[in-house]
A = this chain, B = another copy of it.
Amino acid sequence: MVYITRKETFSAAHKLSRQDWSDQKNQEVFGKCSNPNWHGHNYVLWVTVKGEVNPETGFVTNLSDVSQVLKSYILDKLDHKNLDMDVDFMKGRYSSTEVLAVEIWKQIEKPIMALGCSLHSVKIQETEKNTVEYFGS
């Protein structure tokens, strides 16, 4: 079993705030992330897949195929977008990095499996100081 990781980046706007909470409560819980007019990040995404090494190619899977999955299912939907307004699979969810990692997992689990390997983890860096990783359960 070998693990391979593809790193991608996307730039997006978002905010953390609940409409059913007062501005004061949003500020208390979400701090500066609750700014009504949005803020944004250069997110870094690492997707790790695992599998046996194919003796025909020396590859677990072709990383260009993994990259294509990430482009179609994730990056085309998130890059230079608003996570709260523009993304179908984030509608009605908080755009915390934790939720984003879980939702990205759901989007790509099957397409990755179709490449003959399995999804191991989705890791997202929101800022240089804050990173989240999800292993699927």
Q: Which residues of A pack against B, CB within 8 Å?
A: 1-9, 11-14, 16, 29-33, 35, 37-42, 48, 53, 57-60, 62-64, 67, 79-82, 85-86, 93-99, 101-102, 127-135, 137
Q: When chains A and B are docked, how far (Å) is the Cα of A82 from the Cα of B102?
A: 27
Further pairs besides A5-B132, A39-B81, A60-B132: 5, Cβ < 8 Å: A7-B128, A11-B39, A11-B41, A35-B80, A39-B40
Number of copies: 6
Answer whether A131 and B4 are a contact pair too, CB < 8 Å, given A11-B40, A37-B13, A41-B41: yes
Q: When chains A and B are docked, how far (Å) is the Cα of A122 from the Cα of B67?
A: 23
Answer whether A33 and B80 are a contact pair too, CB < 8 Å, given A2-B98, A38-B40, A59-B98: yes
Q: When chains A and B are docked, how far (Å) is the Cα of A97 from the Cα of B132?
A: 24
